[in-house]
A and B are shown apart, each in its own frame.
Chain A
Amino acid sequence: MAKNNHIESVNSPLNGIEKKTPFSVPADYFEHNPNVILDRISQGTIEKKQVFLFSPGLAIAASILLIAGLFWFYIFNANELDVQEFSLNDEEIQLIIDNPELYGINEFLVNEKYLSSVESYNPLENLSTYSDDEVKSYLETNTDANYIIYEY
């Protein structure tokens, strides 16, 4: 039995244990191993092994949750997304108003859209009763810009 010279206490339970590595290897492992390593080197298969951050099960579960979350988000925010997609900011609206030679605005559609959102809508009412600010505010929040604006 190998002696544990560097164990301080003579009563240490380590002194009663044979000091050998208690593992074994497959038969002829050390005979074949050098050739396996040299084969890997010569075949250029030195690239690093892939290490996945997630285990496969966890990755699948995370994917399902992500898809469900995106689906839920889309369903409950679809209308909001539509409005945001086609709304114009102040500068864009101002650009359109200041450049009548570039853009035309179908006033009839603008007014009809706006009036249809007002409870006391009367299609026969005089269209000129609405100020530019009211129209601008409406355009910013409610209107599909591509529907009412056309390029010359």
Chain B
Amino acid sequence: MPEPIIEDKELLIQFRNSNTRTYSFNLLIRKYQQKIYWHVRRIVITHEDANDVTQETFIKVWKNLDSFKEESQLFTWIYRIATNEALSFLRKKRTKYFIPIVNIENALSNKLVDDNFFSGDEIQLKLQKALLTLPEKQRLVFNMKYYDELKYEKISEITGTSVGALKASYHHAVKKVEKYLLSN
């Protein structure tokens, strides 16, 4: 049976009531988990890593939701936590293996080929490989704009970067991806 769709305001009210706290959080996860998971998955690439980061994100949400001030939308707030968790995860991975920034993306690119949970065709594989050649910030902006179709204002709120800088990043990202697709 599908879960009822509840407005964020109602979810927050229920979360602040100890009797309905867990129930409301269950609904919150079900409401946002797919968007968060796919956003994270496009950053960390493998399902195992995306699963870890998604879980950590919602655990962090649980621990901090009481202090959520509703100055931004709940989804934007969760999206920001997920983005930070995913980027932090990649940075820890780089530190762990003592390898420069480009190599972790190369490793992820190689993993794509044998990934059981990669369901795209050849051209989509090529696009993912092209994205993995981008600097971290450009890849992030490209994913949020291209796949999630978020407005620049929303991306700005999530990443804390100005709209102008985001537009420039996206423009550069598209140019680099196009060049990669045409030359490979």
Contact = CB atoms under 8 A, between A and B. Distances in A.
> Does more than half of chain B's interface fall in helix, strand or loop, or is it mixed?
helix
B178 A24 contact: no
A36 B34 CA distance: 15
Given A33-B33, A34-B29, A34-B33, A23 B96 contact: no
Contact of B127 (A17, A34, A36, A40): A17
Contact of B59 (A6, A26, A30, A40): A40
B54 interface: yes
Interface residues of A, number: 37
B41 A21 contact: yes
Contacts of A30: 33-34, 37
Contacts of B34: 30
Interface stretch (A8-16, A68-76, A138-146): A8-16
B86 to A, nearest CB: 14
A41 interface: yes
A149 to B, nearest CB: 52
A64 interface: no
Nearest to B170: A6
A12 B178 contact: yes
Contacts of B127: 14, 17, 22
Contact of B119 (A4, A6, A13, A23): A23
A12 B171 CA distance: 12
Interface in B54-92: 54-55, 58-59, 62-63, 92
B96 A19 contact: no
Contacts of B125: 22
A52 interface: yes
Given A26-B47, A46-B59, A46-B63, A33 B54 contact: yes
Nearest to B3: A34
Nearest to A21: B38
Nearest to B41: A23
Contacts of A19: 146-147
A22 B124 contact: yes
B96 A51 contact: yes
A4 B26 CA distance: 34
B42 interface: yes
Interface string B1-42: 000000000000000000000100110011001100110011
A29 B47 CA distance: 10
A41 B62 contact: yes
Contacts of B107: none
Nearest to A48: B56
Interface of B: 22, 25-26, 29-30, 33-34, 37-38, 41-42, 47, 51-52, 54-55, 58-59, 62-63, 92, 95-98, 115, 117-121, 123-125, 127-128, 145-147, 149, 171, 174, 177-178, 181-182
30 contacts: A9-B178, A13-B178, A13-B181, A14-B127, A17-B127, A21-B38, A21-B41, A21-B147, A22-B118, A22-B125, A23-B41, A23-B118, A23-B120, A24-B117, A24-B118, A25-B37, A29-B51, A30-B37, A33-B37, A33-B51, A34-B26, A36-B55, A37-B29, A37-B55, A37-B59, A38-B22, A41-B59, A49-B52, A51-B96, A58-B98
